[in-house]
Structure 1
């Protein structure tokens, strides 16, 4: 079994080998960087200047994004307490001085009140315009509805006529075979009656023949 001293000696050897490998890799990377710098005509000053410019650009971008976020997060004040001068934007949780107030228009700031009035007037105007357009649309649709109703009535009348014609043709078609059957029966009866009368006519003819000879 290995002792503690032996294990520590092995660890030192491994650490030294690791340091040699790292130094070789670092030297290879440095040589590669040097070749690239010579190829493109760059110096350490150029690299430092470009790295500094990149760092400054990142910092400026972060500041702009933070400023935009803060500007978006802050809303302009809409209500003001005349006693204390405290303001509220109208969003999020209302403060105590306006929390239980039903009519908050008396706390509106002048600009917000004007915007609210303009918005209400615009809303009234838009509702009136919508009502007028709805009336016009209804007036336009009324003749179209009447025309469609007339067409529907005419279609129903045509379908009724067609149905009655079909029924009449069916009845006539049913009557014709019956009439044909009765006509056939009559012709058969006539033939039978003539066949029965034929022997009597022959006997009468025979009787009449000797009398005519005498």
Structure 2
């Protein structure tokens, strides 16, 4: 039975033989290409230009570099997400190599994206936003109404204060006028009393003079 070292030695020998065959075939291909280039007067630039034109034509026709048609998914671009990691929110289309978070999971149904649930969540979110907007609108209206009421109240207070000030002024004027009238009346009464006293005095003087004249005549 061959040992491990003997098997490894054989493998090295076989690998060396394979490398030699590959190199020989490569050299043969290179020699053939060189002969064709010399025969037709071609350069590496001509070959590169031809290869570039072929790649562009394949890209326009939807074919790969080897002439095969590209897969439908490759033409359409990124595939839609089919699975989602609830912890990180990362998604996977279900094709190509699976990511680490779902790679070793046997039952992947719990990671499936429920389109209906997402739609409901979207609708719920929209409804929530609408409610918040409505609440904000109602609060804004209440605030505006309060401001209007406050302005009206302040204006009413100003009017009331002005009216009260006007009433006070009118009362003061009335009192002043009444005081002036009373003073005039008092002055008039005093003048009337003085006149009466003067008249009485004059009458008394006349009576005394008449009495004196009577006495003298007798």
TM-score by length of 2: 0.39
Q: Which has the higher contact order (CA 8 A, sep 6+)?
A: 1
Task: Determine which structure has more spread, i.e. the larger CA radius of gyration.
Answer: 2
TM-score by length of 1: 0.39
- Choose between structure 1 and 2: higher helix proportion: 1
